[in-house]
Structures are given as structure tokens and as C-alpha cells.
Chain A
Amino acid sequence: MFAEWPLLTLVMWTPLVGAVLVALVGDAFPQGARRLALACAVLTLAWCIPLVVHFDPHSAALQFVEQVVWIAPLGIHYALGVDGISLPLIVLTSLINVLVIIAAWEAVKQQVAHYLAAFLALAGLMNGVFAAQDAILFYVLFEAMLIPMFLIIGIWGGPNRIYATLKFFLYTFLGSVLMLIALIYLYTQAGSFALTDLHAVPLGMTAQILIFLAFFGAFAVKIPMWPVHTWLPDAHVEAPTGGSVVLAAIMLKIGGYGFLRFSLPITPDAAAALDWLMITFSLVAIVYIGFVALAQQDMKKLIAYSSIAHMGFVTLGTFIIFMIYYGSHSAALPTALDSSAPLPQGAVLALSGAMVQMISHGLISAALFFCVGALYSRLHSRQINDYGGVVQTMPWFAALFVLFAMANAGLPGTSGFVGELLVILASFKAHPLIAVLAATTLILGAAYSLWLIKRVVFGPIVAPRVAELHDLSAREAWVLGLLAALVLLLGLWPAPLLHMMHTTLEHLLAHVAVSKLL
């Protein structure tokens, strides 16, 4: 019965309306605000069930499409729809939103209602970003999303929050303004803002390169790619726990999503011509940032840098496809596919790996930031040196923290392994040396993740305050336990997720493998 409902509007607007209601309840009734916020978040997640159940994974077409004219003279529509790329991200967003609201139950003391309202609004906007099928709608939501995050860091953040928020806002805003220019140019060419029309419009090489760079400005900052990544560690350090969780788990993925939804299909020739640059940046992110993470003393900074390195796999998987198909010399794309000679294996692996890495990192980074939050709420320190021997006072916490660190290091059986494996396999096909550099994450990831564990969890108790810690509360245990279960489930049986996006990715690859030049 739900299949006929406007499910995408519901996943987008339930939290947005909820945000207004929660703000209206206000800080005078914190308990009421919490319950209402949780109800809205759970309802949003509940809408995802029929979405997943009725989603047809064998179709590459957009599903659950809704379209209403929004600004008629400019041909702007309120157009929503999902395919195998966006649906998993919507489910992830809705899920993380519930966890963030549960985790904030006791941890947030000031202005609870506004805090929760900001997160609900954020979730609604992000769900909208993933569902939007109109470029302007996407752009508006993409920009609007910055506002609640700006407030979350600016109001509930740490001592240096003003510098961090400004850096975060300016960095990401600058990038997205470039994207707006590109979208307007595309409108002049295609006469429409519908994404499917933009995907189809032929473009000259110069135009493609410029548009590609404009998109790069928006999405590379968001994901973030080296060398435009330095806003992320600062934002994470200053953000409250929930802010860090959403930032790492969802907002970064919007960058990866943008590359898949905009850069690849709209400017395939430019992407093929500049793939060497993107691959280089990705490998720098994996290797260089891996070393930088090793040197961190602040737990949140360490996880933030680890996020950048993990996102390197997303961009590597996304842009390696041309090398797999057409060799290493940024060759021009063919004007039509030769059906007699099938394209070589590997590209689907690469894109699947990038997608799985996004979902998996959403779970693992959320869990790691929740873990740091659990420690921070007890000792009010993020410095690794203030800890040591935590396992003796918090054994259950320690077990889960070790699990998530292992997942972060890509241990098989956890979700962290799946994406890295697929991308490493695929990149070997492109060039063995790329795979060698990518595979250094096995060593570096283990080194920074487990060294963190060694210094925080194991060893003798040095700080007297650690001796007085108490283990996870029931609420914290539920949040981390659920994430642990999902990390293991996805690691032990990723087939359903792969199945959900397989057709969409093949369709995307077939589109991208052919030139769009005029």
C-alpha cells in the first residue's frame, strides 16, 4: 500500500516539519522535545522501509518519482526520485539521525530543543539532497544544509568554534558558488534543470573541463579531497559529538554522491581527461593523510584525518574507471560502445567499492565519533595522552571501540574491508602501482587505528581519573551495539547492498563510457 505514497517527500519533510515542531516545544520542556524529536526521526526511518521493500533493483530508472512545477518561468521543478546510488544514502542518513538524537538524550544540556531541531532539519535537507532530481532543488538544499551545521558547530561547539565555522562555511560555500555558475550554464545549453536532461546534453571539451572544475570545487571540498581538506579536522575538533557524527557519516558522502551524480554523467569526457589528476589526489589522500593521521594527538583529529584517507578510496574508485576501460593515457572516449568487444572487468567493481566505502564509512566513522564522545562526556578531554587503560574500567566500551578501530583498519568481516577490497582489486587492473599505493592503507590504517587503541584502551592506568570511569550507559550501549551489528552484517554479507545498486552503477558506467562531445 505504501508504494503509492509520496515516500520521498515524507522522508524529506517529516524531519523538517518535526524540526519546526520541536523548536516550538522549546527548551522549556526538554523531555517533550526529546521524545518528539525521536518520534520524528524514527518515523523518517520507518518511511525508508517501504522505500527499500518496493525498490526494484533490476531497474536503472528513477523510482518513486515525484514532480511538481516549482518556479515555472525557469522550468524549475520540485522533482524527487531515487536509484540504487541514492537510496542507500537516504537510509543511512535516516538511521544516523535516529542514533544522533538518542545519543544526545543526556549528553546535551543546553538548548536541547534547538539542538535536536537543528539535527532534524539537517537530516531532512540531506535526504532531500540525495533525492533531488532537479539541479536547482539540489543546489538549494545543498546550500541550506550548511546552515544547521553552521549553527550546530557555532553554538554547541568547542572553544575555537568561530574560526572552525567560518573556515567550514567559506570553504564549502566558495565551492558551491562555482557549481551554481556551472548549473546556470548547463541550463542555457539544455534548456532544463532536470538532471536527466543535463546528463544527456552534449557539451564541448572546454565547457566540460570548466564545468568539471566547478563541480570539483563543490564536491572535492565536501568529501574532502586533498588538498582542500583542512577545514575538516578543525570542524570536527570543534563540533559537538552529534555534529561530528553527521559531518563524517553523511555530509562527506554528499561529495562522493555529487561526483557520481553530476561530474561523471554530465562531463564524462572531462572526467576521462582529468582522471590522472583525480587519481593522484586520491592516492595522496590515502598515503599522505595516512601518515598525517599517525602523528595526531587529538582523537577527533585522528579520526578526521582517517576519514579523509578513507574518502580517498571513494574518489579513487570513482575516477579509476576510465583507466580500466581505456588504458593509462587519458584517452578520448569513443563515440559509441563496440558491442562486439565487451569492456574489461573492473570498472563495476571500482564504482561498487566506492559506494560501499561510503556506506561503510558512514557507519564506522559515526561509531568512532560516538566512542570519542562517550569518553569526552566523562573526562572532557580528547587528548590521547590523558587516557590509557580504559579497558579496565570500561570493558564493554573497550570491546566495541576495538571492533570499530579494526573495522576502520579494514578487517575482513567488517564493512570497512568490503569497499577497500573492491577498489584495490579494481585499481590493480588499471595499474599495479596504483594498487600498491592504495593497499598501503592496510598498513597505515592499522597503524593509526590500533596505535590509538593501544594508547587509549590498553596499558596500565596512569591518569587517576581513568580509574573512576564507569562503563557505557544503556543508551550508549544501544547506539554502539546497533552500529556494531550493522558493521558486522555489512562485512559478512554485503550482497544485498551490492544487489541494490548494481543495475544503477552498470547503467551509469554505460553512460560514462561514451563521449558526450558535440
Chain B
Amino acid sequence: MDGVYLSIVLAPLVGALVAGLWGRQIGRRGAQSVTILGVGIAFGLSVWVFWAHVFGGAPVYNETVYTWLVSDGIRFEIGFLVDNLTALMMLVVTFVSLMVHIYTIGYMRDDPGYQRFFSYISLFTFAMLMLVMANNFLQLFFGWEAVGLVSYLLIGFWHQRPSAVHANLKAFIVNRVGDFGFILGIAALVLYTGTLDYAATFAQVEGLREAQVPLWAGYETSLLTLACILLFIGAMGKSAQVPLHVWLPDSMEGPTPISALIHAATMVTAGIFMVARLSPLFEASPTTLSVILIIGALSAFFMGLLGLVQHDIKRVVAFSTLSQLGYMTVALGASAYAAGLFHLMTHAFFKALLFLAAGSVIIAMHHEQDMRRMGGLWRVMPITYVTALIGALALIGFPGMSGFFSKDAIIEAVALSTLPGAGFAYVLILAGVFVTALYTFRMIFMVFHQPPGTRSTSSADDHHAQLASHDHTHDHHHAQPELRTPDAERVLRAPSHTPHESPPVVTIPLILLAIPSVLAGLVVGPLLFGDFFDGVLTVDPARDVLAQLGESYSGIGGFILHGLMMPPVWLALSGVALAWLLYLHRPHWPGVIAARLRWVQAVLLRQYGFDAFNAKVLAGGSVALGRLLWRVGDRTVIDGWLVNGSARSIGALAQRIRRLQSGYLYHYAFAMILGLLIFGLMLW
């Protein structure tokens, strides 16, 4: 099997290197072929691996590939752990990646950076596979930062655009704040366990329960809680949980295919994957679980609300991603790891689908992203419409769709959880269901159904042009025509200006993603209540909410019937109804409501002020502090007083000493005699 696993990770890497280093020589066709071939191989082999592990009963693979270094008796290694969780993640990652590769042929058709783009997304696939296949913390961190690097490169793909290079810097630094916690979490564990290996670490959990770490004089804290909270800070950065979520909305500056692949389906779920992978550790720290519950619930609800006021179609989907990541996080906090992973999988399908559908709309609208300028598209782009509708229904948890099963499982699991904070989380995620349906169908109705031109961009409900600071791509297109992006140039060269359905390289991935968006929920039984994750996830029996749920589980039909009697479905449907009322039936109402609740709208458009705070206080403050330390500390005190000051005082001293050399013989004679006298006295 070694060769198979190595091929899975190396095939995309080779594709990326060839397309990146020799892109000019092999041309567009060459670059697209070599990377798609690489990812195709990875996908094919991943299917085989999945089959072998899940149905073929292949044993768990846990082997070292090579030793990175050995020091102090600690082995730092690169190695693979392949079990059912890994196999599932490999399947999801390579499948979505393959779809995005194919889609890119259409989406980036006329971009001058075509080869570079393919190189980056293949490199991303490699890094993400290394992350999910890691069998130790070192490689996890490697993959973790490598996906961050590719994300940085792709957000700033259109590097002439000031907003894009602002967004990628922001994304990297916010992620680094998370990684700061992550590496400290690893450090906390390693020096107590003496190993970086997952299995060896888990084996020592019992012995670490009582371990204490001194924080400062006389104050100690539990090692495991400290380590888990630090590790979770890493997850918060990567999976964009409040307050480290600020980079994700801005990441929409990147081309749409990567929004689907990296900022919806795969990379941002790395934090969820990490916590699930380390469940034996997190289970040993109920405090951390409570923290996770609360952070996740806050993200799920409050980030969803922000989707209600966005006009940029990609940003609506982005805030929806933030909110759904919150749901996954809540599941982890409730110890329902399997439910979190299940939602991760279904979300990967339907959210990648929604992003790619949004991209298809954006191409059709000639790179218009403002939903108020859209409308009535369902007639002209039927495939995009149907697939987007499927994605939307899955997202709101319409009974029978994949999202229904995964989201319902999370909500029920949280309802059963007895951890502190579970009640609070339950209320928020329940309310979140309504919000999700509202913003999702607001988008569907505005894009596909409203009569075109119903809403002018200067209507009453629009103050975001003044409020939202800087980061709307279309603003730049209009404000600075000389900075036209390659994207915009393509628009100008496009033959016609009437929207039409996208080419097959775009629609086929949509269709292929729509299928699992509908059907993936059917595996709910084995995944949540069966033995799929046996030996992978550890749950304290006292908190095993999924096992409690499983007792009443009686097949798909029963699950759906049960769901129909619970509040989430009805909340979702009423959200859809309200969206219909506000955006189709009475389209002037949103303006009226916004005018009445101006302060609410202002708060939402400013995204609760996180961006302003970060820009002014953290970023601005850091630079100001740097300047202060440099001017005062380095230049005035050290250089001015100490270095040049001592030079000056030596100079002044020399001025005085120079007077000793008076030229009078008797001065010298006197000095000589005095010196001899002192010397004589010393000898005596």
C-alpha cells in the first residue's frame, strides 16, 4: 500500500511542479492536462483506498515515510495514518478538487495566469492530502501551513488588485494568529509525552489527566486543557471561527473556483478535521469542549445574520460558509464528532456546488457579482438554476437532502448534550436554521427569480457602498478602470452581453456535485450510528450523545419522519416563506425594514466592527508601536544617549585631558616625580 499512498500525494505535487515551473513551455493545454491527470490519479486511487478500507476491511495503515529529524530522543517524522476518517477525507478532497480543476478550464479560460492557477490548485490538493493523511503533529502542522500558503497565493492571484493583496496578507496573518496557538499546543504536549505521533500521544492521555503546568507564580493549570485550548485556537484560525473569522469574507477576492475548493469545501474544514482526529485529547478536557460549543454557536448564528445584508453573491455564500463551519464546531463541542464530520462532508459537496454555481452566474453576468443587478436567470441558465437550487435546499436542510441529515443530527446531538453552554448553543443553532433559510432563498430569489431591474443599486436598502469599507470587487472595477483585472478584460472581450448558460466544462462539475448533495445524506446510518468511525473517534461514554440518538434510529425513513416533527424543518420552511414574501411578493419591504432598523443594518454591514477594530487597533497599533519603539527605544535612548552620548562624553573628556599636555617642562617633571612616588609606595 505504501506506493499507493505515496502516489496519491505525489501525483498532484508533480502536476503542480510541472505546470508551475514549465508552464510557459507546455502551454495552457499542457498545464491543464498534467494537473488534471495528477488529481485524477489521486482521486481514482482514493476511491480504491476508500473501498479497501470501508468495504474491503483493509487494516489501519500507520507508517513512517521518512524521518525529518531526530533530536533529544524525539522523532520528528513524516508518515501516513490511513483509517476510515482519512479515507473519507481523501475521497472528499480529491473529488471536489477534480471537479474544480475541470470547472477551471471554463472559468479561467482567458486568464493570462492560467498555468499558474492550475499549478496552485494542484499544489493545494497535495498540501491538503498531506494534512489529512498525517499520522503525527509535525506533518499536520506542515500541511496546515502549506494549505495556508496556497490560500495566500490564490487569494492574491489577481495581484494587481489592491484589495486582493490586502485580503491575502490579512488571511495569512489571521491564520498565523491561530497557528501561534496551534504550535504552542503541540509544544505543550510534546515535552510531556516525548512523541509527536498521534497514537503514542493518545496512549498517554490517561497519564496526563492529572498533569499540571505552571503558568505563573503559584498558579497552575491542567496540561490537557491548556493544550486543547491552544490547539483549538489553531482550528479557529483555519476554520474561521469568531473572532478569527475576519479573513474568510475577504478571501472572496480570489477567483471563484478556489472559493469553492479552499474556502468552502476543504481547507476551512481542516480545523474541524483536526479536532475530530484528536478526539481522545479533547474528550479529556470538558472545559475545552464547552468553549468549543460556545464559539461554534456564536459563529453559526451571528455569521449567518451577516449573510442577510450582503449584495455580493459570493459574500453571501461566504458568510453561509462561516455559519456552517460554526455548526460543525458545535457538533465537536457536543462530542458528536461523527456528526461534525458528516456535516463537513455534505457541506463540502453542496457548498462547493453553490460556489461553482455562483461562479457560473458570475460568468453569465460578465463578472457582475451584485445580486441587485441580477434576476430572472432561471430561464436562461436552467442547469445552473437547478443545481443551485439543489445546493440551496441541501444547505437549508430540506428533508431528504444531504444537509438535512447532517444538520439535524447536530441539532439533536446538542439538544442532548449536558455540557455547560449546551443550552445556549442549542438556542443559537436553532435560530440559525431560520436565518440560513432566509439568506439562502433571498439569494436564490434575487438571482434567479426577481424580475431583472427590480432593484436599483441605489435603493433605500443600500447603504453599504458607503458603509462597507473597501472590499467589493465590483467597486474596484467601476472606480478604477485603469486597474482592470484580467477578469474584467475578459468581460470586455466577451462576444455578447446577454446572459446565457455556461459551457459544459462548467455545468458538468455542477451536475456531478449536485448528485452527492442530494444523496450523501443516505449514509447517515452507518456514519453516525454504525461502526464507520469505530477505533477512530473516541467519545467519553457519559457524553456520547450520538449513541443516545442511535438508540431510536430506525432507518432513513424514520429519521426523516422524526425530523418532520421537529422544529428545524419548520424553521427552515418559514425562512424560505419569509424570503419569498420579502424578495418576490413584496420587494419594497426590505427597503422599508432597513430604513426602520437602520442601526441594525449598520451593525451588520460593518460586520460587528471586527474589521475596523483589527485594522485600527491591532494592525495600526502594531505599526505605531513599532515606530515608537524604533524612534524612542533605538534612536533616542540607545543610539542618542548611550552610543553617541558616550562618544560625545569621551570627546568632551579628551578636550579636558588634552590640557594636561601643556608643553611646560615643569608640568611634565612634576607628573613624572608624582608617578614615581606612587609607584614606589605601591612596591613598598
Contacts and interface: CB of A to CB of B under 8 A. Distances in A.
A394 to B, nearest CB: 13
5 contacts: A230-B639, A291-B622, A293-B626, A432-B184, A459-B162
A442 B72 contact: no
Contacts of A231: 643
Interface in B146-189: 146, 149, 152, 156, 159-162, 165-166, 168-169, 172-173, 176-177, 179-180, 183-184, 186-188
Nearest to A353: B71
B145 A389 contact: no
A454 B184 contact: no
B374 interface: no
Contacts of A413: 142, 145-146
Interface string A403-442: 0001001011100001001101111110111011001101
Interface string A318-351: 0000000000000000000000000001111100
Contacts of A443: 173, 176-177, 180
Given A389-B160, A429-B191, A495 B68 contact: yes
Nearest to B181: A439
Contacts of B682: none
Interface in A282-340: 288, 291-296
B160 A460 contact: yes
Interface stretch (A185-193, A264-272, A445-453): A445-453
Interface in A124-154: none
B625 interface: yes
Interface stretch (B93-101, B210-218, B262-270, B584-592): B210-218
Contacts of A478: none
A345 B72 contact: yes
Given A442-B176, A446-B176, 17 more contacts: A295-B626, A345-B74, A411-B149, A413-B145, A418-B69, A422-B71, A425-B191, A432-B188, A439-B180, A442-B183, A443-B176, A443-B180, A446-B173, A450-B152, A459-B159, A494-B69, A495-B68
A172 interface: no
A36 B483 CA distance: 50
Nearest to B226: A432
Which of A392, A425, A450, A492 has the most chain B CB atoms inside 10 A of its CB? A425
A227 interface: yes
Contact of A412 (B142, B160, B168): B142
Interface size grouping (class) on chain B: 35 or more
A429 B70 CA distance: 18
Contacts of A82: none
B301 to A, nearest CB: 28
A86 interface: no
Contacts of B156: 458
B213 A432 contact: yes
B159 A294 contact: no
A370 to B, nearest CB: 20
B176 A425 contact: no
A424 B623 contact: no
A433 B216 contact: yes
Please provide the 6 A-B residue pairs with the shortest distance between their CB atoms, ordered closest to farther.
A295-B626, A428-B187, A348-B72, A291-B626, A294-B626, A458-B165
Interface in A165-191: 167, 170-171
B72 A291 contact: no
Contacts of B146: 412-413
A421 B184 CA distance: 10
A352 B629 CA distance: 31
B67 interface: yes
B676 interface: no
Contact of A295 (B194, B214, B627, B647): B627
Given A345-B194, A460-B162, A495-B67, A227 B483 contact: no
Interface in B626-640: 626-627, 629-630, 633-634, 638-639
B679 interface: no
B625 A352 contact: no
Contact of B74 (A349, A424, A459, A502): A349
A480 to B, nearest CB: 15
A436 B186 CA distance: 12
B66 interface: yes
Nearest to A398: B159
B190 interface: yes
Contact of A345 (B73, B161, B166, B177): B73
B141 interface: yes
A308 B629 CA distance: 15
Given A442-B176, A443-B176, A493-B68, A345 B149 contact: no
Contacts of A60: none
B638 A230 contact: yes
A411 B159 contact: no
Contacts of A459: 159-160, 162, 165
A435 B629 CA distance: 22
Interface in B64-105: 66-74
B70 A498 contact: yes
Given A230-B639, A454-B165, A458-B165, A428 B188 contact: yes
A460 B69 contact: no
A495 B69 CA distance: 4
A391 interface: yes
A170 B72 CA distance: 40
Given A389-B160, A412-B142, A446-B176, A439 B68 contact: no
Given A292-B630, A292-B634, A440-B180, A431 B622 contact: no
A432 B183 CA distance: 12
Contacts of B68: 492-495
A294 B161 CA distance: 23
Contacts of A457: 159
Interface string B185-226: 011101100100000000000000000011110000000001
A428 B72 CA distance: 15
Contact of A288 (B69, B162, B216, B633): B633
Contacts of B161: 460
A106 B72 CA distance: 46
B176 to A, nearest CB: 5
A466 to B, nearest CB: 12
A426 B156 CA distance: 35
Contacts of B177: 443
A347 to B, nearest CB: 7
A411 B629 contact: no
Contact of B183 (A433, A439, A447): A439
B159 A295 contact: no
B169 A424 contact: no
Interface in A473-518: 492-495, 498-499, 502
Nearest to B78: A492
Nearest to A495: B69
Given A295-B623, A460-B160, A348 B71 contact: yes
Contacts of A230: 634, 638-639, 643
Interface in B369-387: none
A174 to B, nearest CB: 10
Nearest to A451: B169
Which of B159, B168, B625 has the most chain A CB atoms inside 10 A of its CB? B159
B246 to A, nearest CB: 14
B630 A295 contact: yes
A450 B183 contact: no
Contacts of B483: 460
Contacts of A439: 180, 183-184, 187
Contacts of A429: 191
A175 to B, nearest CB: 13
A439 B187 CA distance: 10
